Amino acid sequence: MKTKEPEQQVRSVKKLSCFIADTDALIKDAQALRYRVFAQEMGATLKSGQDGLDFDEFDNYCDHLLVYDNVNAKIIGYTRLLKQSQANQLGRFYSQNEFILDGVLALPGRFLEVGRTCIDPDYRGGAVLTTLWSALVQYALEGQFNYLLGCASITPGVSGYAIDAVYRAIDAQNIASPELQVKPLVPVPKALRCQRDESGIPPLLSAYLRFGALVCGEPYWDEDFNCMDLFILLPLDQLQERYSKHYMRGCQTNEVENAALL
């Protein structure tokens, strides 16, 4: 029998796969990526950042969604997913540490919270974020959730946080109605606000907005992470067709392999 040459074998390996971590070792590797991005790159003060890992009490209740580079055998993208049933066991969503969500949580339906999203700095660009977002949407649709919720972080420019400029860049249809407005427990201090738009809309927030996410009110000031967080609510009832047309095509183009996510 004829065997493949080594170069042919490498070419046959799909570069990226996306799946839920199923071992403690994979979760620790993901927490190490979080630490490198949030603590070392962003300078965040992590309450549980011992031994080069970022972890907290929410991790034990979450599914950990990974983008894996099969060629270099490493985790390069990550987000964690907290189902409403698990949040009920814990007593809250993570977002409730930052916002009063009474109006949002009064909506009928099932919620899925997304958090701690990060990409390895050596892999930033369209492919990894597309892979992660595609798998996230698949997870939400297959799990029959009605809403995605979470926080989209915006880091400061040179002179401060261009809150007004960011909101001017958001289409009116992506601003939540008054009954869905949330209240930040810690508003961004006036001294840190500025008018100039120095950084634009971050890629993750742009992805949310393209699919109809709602920005629900004023941002929260996260001193530990040195960023402002916008609360995002994404109704999923209109997402199936958009997801199928756009991201399934993207997955085929990028040769993404999605493992079973539920």
Tens digits of per-residue pLDDT, 196-219?
655 567 777 887 888 889 999 999
Q: How far apart are the C-alpha atoms of 36 and 121, rounded to whole Å?
A: 9
What pLDDT does 165 receive?
Answer: 76
Q: Which pLDDT score is estimated for 164?
A: 75
DSSP 203-226: HHHHHHHHTT-EE-SSPEEETTTT
* Residues with Cβ within 8 Å of residue 12, at least 6 apart in sequence: 4
Report the pLDDT value the prediction gives residue 246, as an integer from 0 to 100: 53
In angstroms, rounded to a whole number, what is the distance separating the alpha carbons of residues 36 and 177? 37
pTM as predicted: 0.84
Residue 260 has a pLDDT of: 30
Task: Please identify every stretch of the chain with a pLDDT value under 70, giving residue numbers as ranges.
Answer: 1-13, 49, 156-162, 195-200, 238-262
Rounded (5°) CA angle 259-260-261:
105
Instruction: Give the integer Cα–Cα distance in Å for 187 and 46.
Output: 20
Residue 65 in contact with residue 79, Cβ under 8 Å?
Answer: yes
Distance CA 166, CA 199 (A): 9
Q: What is the pLDDT of residue 195?
A: 61
CATH architecture of residue range(s) 14-258: 3-Layer(aba) Sandwich (3.40)
| CB-neighbour burial class of residue 89 (10 A; exposed 0-12, middle 13-18, buried 19+) | exposed
State residue 241's pLDDT score. 59
The residues spanned by each domain of the chain are 14-258
